[in-house]
Amino acid sequence: MFSVILQQGINGIVLGSLYVLVALGLTLIYGILVQINFAHADIVTLGAFVAYFVAQTLTGNYVVGIAVALIMGGALGWLINAAVFAPLRRHGSELLPLIATIGVSIMLQNAMLLLFGPIPYAFNTPYSSKVIHIGPLFFTLQNLFIILVSTTTIVLLYAFMKFTFLGKALRAVSQDRETAALMGINPNFLIMLTFIIASALAGMSGALLGPVLVLTPFAGTSVIVKAFAIVIIGGFGNIEGTIIAGLIVGLIESYTTQFLDPGLIDIAVFALLLVMLAIRPTGLIAEKHAENV
Amino acid sequence: MSDLSQIKSSRPIPPKKFITPRRLCFLVAAITIALLPLIFPSSYWRTNLIVCAINVLLAIGLDFVLGYAGQLNIGQSAFYGIGAYASTLLIMKLAVPFWVAFALGVLISGIAGTLLSLFAVRLRGHYLAIASLGFAVITYQILLNWISLTQGPLGIYAIRPPPPISLPWLPPIVFTNLTNLFYLIAGFALLVYFIIDQLVRSPIGETLTAIREDELSAASLGIDAPKWKAFAFAVSSAVAGAAGCFYASFVGTLVPDAFFITESFSMLAMVIVGGMGTLIGPVFGAILLTILPELLRGIGDLRLIVYGAAVTLVVLFIPGGLVQAIRVVARHVLPAGAKFEARS
């Protein structure tokens, strides 16, 4: 029994660390722009498909696939910012960019449906068949790889935000765009940079999630819905909170699957979300944007 | 002097005349509804007309809470689903008469909407958006997983259309006939439009708008914002519930996928493309976005890509929706001095 709990704990953390990568992108964009990018989900899906084709058919190298997915994600994020968010910024509306990106999401999903078809793809990486046993526990090399890559990415991102000049400038813009601009920081450049980083993360997490997900053009939707929950539970715009919340959601998912019913995952996650909103609407770690609650 | 005549009083004096422009518009709308099935005799287009009527109902219901009360509700599919499943289950499991089940379905959706408004009391903007999205996800998952009640993904089959209405001296009106069903749903939509139109032009509408514009100032004027938010959510979700009930009796089968969160998004798109915060806008937004994919059937799989592109482009270039587009066109086309007001 104890080993089952431990085993599912490992699985939950693997899944949770991927959710963290997706949710961090959303929370970075929210932090700097106070906008929601609904097409974020489809960058994840597209990242998975790109990695699939690069790794499985073109080069045979999974790491190259991840790198290409990362670059593709960054490019798509730049495009979405330039085409949708930048022109809509002057309206100052909360709703318009949300709807516009829902439109983008419908476009991307159906374009992928046209290209890749509705049948799920079997994404096998060289690491998914190698199993490591430690006592009663086992995990695939893929799981180890996921934890390694996502932990490295999260640490790098955290260090970037805390210690580099650009990271500090990013935080300055998300705290007060006008004052940051007065200090000589170009907010438009930093917003663009945020979109590129966030979307590159989404593309990469898609490449890592590909072997875990049922890979169809609509796979991103179930991920993004959980990412939204994570972002709110962690506190919108808060990196530490997002990391903790992402791991919690990953654990909820694996324990619900083990002890209850896989169909109850979303119910459990969103029940937690609604409870959080009812008792502590500022998220796990309260920071800013208190005007929303 | 002419400028003074253009200043519109926010609460016009009730007209003494029997025929007013507004009443004339309702008459025109009623005649249009009566004529539409005659213009489109094929059952394919009559089916689309009914889908249009249901979507119009959904769009004006959502617009009431979104456009007038300013509450960012992106989980409207929950109430649509609750109305559909509640009324259908009452009919199929408890043999409740259709119209009683209809009323109860509307009531249950309204109560669910009031429950969501408890969150709206504390949350604003995107937090409310995600909370409502969560509400819709939970509702969808319950419909999918409570198999003993809803039969989950297998769905509920053989739902009967509304029972015939018999009037004296006339043959009974049966609703297996698409034309009659269209008259019923479109007539109901017109009634709901009339009621919401009265509501938003009454002091209640001004109260909701005050909450939308600035909740703090509204509170300082003695407006009980939580109460009025609950009211807006209740009305909006009740309308969605009614649409769900009609949907079930029209389609004849219910599966949870019909009430997935993407359904909320298409309702949002209808409201935004039409023109949020006006009532006539969402009506045309709903009709346009229902008909557009049908008209695009010729281009096959590309049609949903075009649909997504259309939604994005409208938001980017005419953020006020069709209503704004018509206003701009009217300003340029109509002779100077001619006054054009979109009926909101």
Q: How many CA atoms lie within 13 A of B21 on its CB side?
A: 5
pLDDT over threshold 60, residue B34: yes
Domain assignment present for A114:
yes
Residue B2's pLDDT band, with cuts at 50, 70 and 90, is very low
Confidence at residue B67, expressed as pLDDT on a 0 to 100 scale: 86
Of A96, A106, A274, the CB nearest to B315: A96
Model confidence band, residue B342 (pLDDT cutoffs 50, 70, 90): very low
Residue-level pLDDT at A293: 42
- Confidence band, pLDDT 50/70/90 cuts, at residue B55: very high
In this prediction, residue B340 carries a pLDDT of 47
Burial A52-82 (b: 16+ CB within 10 A, else e): bbbbbeeeeebbebbbbbbbbbbebbbebbe
- Most distant CA pair in chain B, distance: 70
CA distance A270 to B133: 9
Q: What confidence tier does B1 reach under pLDDT thresholds 50, 70, 90?
A: very low
Inter-axis angle of helices B225-251 and B98-122, nearest 10: 140
B315 to A267: CB separation less than 8 angstroms, yes or no: no
Residue A282 lies in a domain: no
Per-residue pLDDT at B328: 86
Distance from CA of B147 to the nearest CA of A (A): 11
Q: Rounded distance, CA B208 to CA A208, Å? A: 47
- A195 found inside a domain: yes
Query: Mind telling me how many Å the CA of A274 is from chain B's nearest CA?
Result: 7
Task: Determine what percent of chain B is predicted with pLDDT higher than 70.
Answer: 92
Among A191-200, A220-229, A236-245, B159-168, name the most confident range.
A191-200
Cβ contact A50:A177 at 8 Å: no
Flag whether residue A131 sits within 8 Å of chain B, measured between CB atoms: no
Note whether residue A208 is domain-resident: yes
Cα–chain center distance at B102: 17
Handedness of CA B216, B218, B224, B228 (dihedral sign): negative
Which parts of A34-125 fold into alpha helices (H)?
40-52, 62-80, 86-88, 96-116
Q: What is the CATH number of the domain that holds A30?
A: 1.10.3470
Closest approach of B118 to chain A, Cα-based (Å): 9
**What's the confidence (pLDDT) of residue B13?**
62
Q: How confident is the model at residue A119 (pLDDT cuts 50, 70, 90)?
A: confident
Q: How many angstroms separate the Cα of B226 from the Cα of each of A109, B41, B194, B316?
A: 38, 48, 25, 33
Residues of chain A above pLDDT 70, percent = 96
Of A100, A270, A292, the CB nearest to B137: A270
Compute the radius of gyration of chain A from its Cα atoms. Answer: 19
Question: What average pLDDT is seen over chain A?
Answer: 83
Q: Is the pLDDT of residue B83 over 90?
A: yes
Q: Is A286 among the domain residues?
A: no
| Three-class secondary structure of residue A121 per DSSP | strand
Split into its structural domains, chain A has a count of 1
Per-residue confidence (pLDDT) for residue A291, from 0 to 100 = 45
Please indicate whether, in this complex, the C-beta atoms of A104 and B312 are within 8 angstroms of each other. yes
Say if residues B52 and B290 touch (Cβ distance below 8 Å).
Answer: yes
Assess contact for A252 and A244: CB atoms under 8 A: no
A98 vs B contacts (CB less than 8 Å): 74, 129
Of A30, A113, A273, the CB nearest to B134: A273
Asked whether residue B16 carries a pLDDT value surpassing 80, the answer given is no
- List all residues of chain A from 98 to 117 with a beta carbon under 8 Å from chain B: 98-111, 113-114
Q: How far is B254 from B244, CA to CA, in rounded Å?
A: 10
Average pLDDT over residues B83-97: 89
Domain membership of residue A30 as a residue range: 2-262
- C-alpha count within 13 angstroms, C-beta hemisphere, residue A98: 22
B133/A263 touch (CB, cutoff 8 Å), yes or no: no
Residue A146 forms contact with B (CB below 8 Å) = no
Residue A73 in domain: yes
Q: Are A103 and B315 within 8 A, CB to CB?
A: yes
**What average pLDDT does this structure show over B95-112?**
91
Q: Which residues of B41-51 are buried (b: 16+ CB within 10 A; e: fewer)?
A: eeeebbbbbbb
Q: How many CB atoms lie within 10 A of CB A285?
A: 15
Identity of the residue in A110, A271, A293 whose CB atom sits nearest the CB atom of B122? A293
Task: For residues A56-76, give the mean pLDDT.
Answer: 86
Q: Give the residue on B whose Cα is nearest the Cα of A274.
A: B131
Taking only the tens place, the pLDDT of each residue in A151-172 is 899 889 888 888 888 888 888 8
Predicted local confidence at residue A286, as pLDDT? 57
A-contacting residues in B 305-324 (Cβ below 8 Å): 305, 307-313, 315-316, 319
Kindly tell me if the per-residue pLDDT of B175 is higher than 90: no
- Note the pLDDT tens digit of each residue in A128-138: 777 777 777 77
Contact by Cβ (8 Å): B68, B207: no
Q: Cβ–Cβ of B124/A291 closer than 8 Å?
A: yes
Asked if B126 and A30 come within 8 Å (Cβ–Cβ), the reply is: yes
By CB atoms closer than 10 A (0-12, 13-18, 19+), residue A290 is: exposed
- CB proximity B126 to A under 8 Å: yes
> pLDDT-based confidence at B189, cuts 50/70/90?
very high
Two structure tokens written together for B43: 């059952």
Interchain pair B145, A264: CB under 8 A: yes
A190, A173 Cβ separation under 8 angstroms? yes
- B261 close contact with A: CB closer than 8 A: yes
Residue A34: pLDDT band (50, 70, 90) is confident
What does the buried/exposed string (b/e) look like for A100-136 if buried means 16 or more CB atoms within 10 Å of the residue's CB? bbbbbbbbbbbbbbeebeeeebebebeebeeeeeeee
pTM: 0.84
CA distance B314 to B272: 9
With contacts defined as CB-CB under 8 Å, which chain A residues touch B308?
Answer: 103-110
- CB-based contact A103 B311, cutoff 8 Å: yes
- Judge contact between B112 and B106, C-beta under 8 A: no
Contacts of A96 (CB under 8 A, 6+ apart): A88, B272, B315, B319
Task: Name the pLDDT band for B166 (thresholds 50, 70, 90).
Answer: confident
CB atoms within 10 A of CB B21: 10
Please name which of B276, B259, B140, B263 lies closest in space to residue B209, comparing C-alpha atoms. Answer: B276
From A99, A105, A108, residue closest to B315, measured CB to CB? A99
Residues 6+ apart with CB under 8 A from B278: B63, B67, B323, B342, B343, B344
Q: Look at residue B15 and tell me whether its pLDDT is greater than 70.
A: no
What is the C-alpha separation between A149 and B112, in angstroms, rounded?
43
* Residue B108 · residue B244 · CB < 8 Å: no
SS3 assignment, position A1:
coil
Query: Would residue A289 count as lying in a domain?
Result: no
A235 vs B66: CA distance, rounded Å: 24
List the one residue out of A74, A29, A44, A39 whose CA is nearest residue A197. A74
Q: What is the DSSP string of B215-246?
A: HHHHHHTT--HHHHHHHHHHHHHHHHHHHHHH
Reported ipTM: the value is 0.82
Cα first-last separation, chain A: 41
Judged by CB atoms closer than 8 Å, whether chains meet at A88 and B304 is answered as no
Q: Which of A61-70, A189-198, B154-163 has the lowest mean pLDDT?
A: B154-163
Is residue A249 in a domain?
A: yes
Contact of B240 with B76, CB cutoff 8 Å = yes
| B142 lies within 8 A of chain A by CB | yes
Summarised one tens digit per residue, pLDDT across range A181-220 is 787 777 788 888 889 999 999 999 998 888 887 888 888 8
Cβ distance A281 to B122 less than 8 Å, yes or no, reads yes
**Greatest CA separation for chain A:** 59
